[in-house]
């Protein structure tokens, strides 16, 4: 019976991983459509996890705009 209880515990653990994957995919599917109102709290957490680069979104344009014109 020890083997069966271990198998059940493994299946419960696998189910929790699947539940997390489903929630993540649902969030990604909702992220593609623009929505009205305040953004959900999880989107703020996602922006903290993946910070932007130092120059911003279009870093190559910023460097060109700040350099003096060629002679």
Q: Which residue has the tokens 């979104």?
A: 57
> What mean pLDDT comes out for the span 31-36?
70
pLDDT of residue 46: 57
Q: Is 40 in contact with 47 (CB distance < 8 Å)?
A: no
Q: Is 16 in contact with 22 (CB distance < 8 Å)?
A: no
**Which helix (DSSP H) or strand (DSSP E) does residue 18 occupy?**
helix 2-31
- CA–CA separation, 14 vs 20, rounded Å? 10
How does pLDDT run across 3-25, given as a tens digit for each residue? Answer: 999 999 999 999 999 999 999 88
Q: pTM value? A: 0.40
């Amino acid at each position: 019976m020890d083997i069966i209880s271990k198998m059940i515990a493994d299946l419960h653990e696998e189910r929790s991983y699947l539940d997390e994957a489903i929630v993540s995919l649902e969030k990604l599917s909702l992220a593609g459509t623009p929505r009205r109102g305040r953004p959900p709290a999880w989107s703020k957490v996602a922006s903290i996890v993946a910070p932007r680069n130092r120059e911003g979104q279009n870093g190559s344009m910023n460097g060109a705009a700040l350099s003096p014109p060629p002679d």
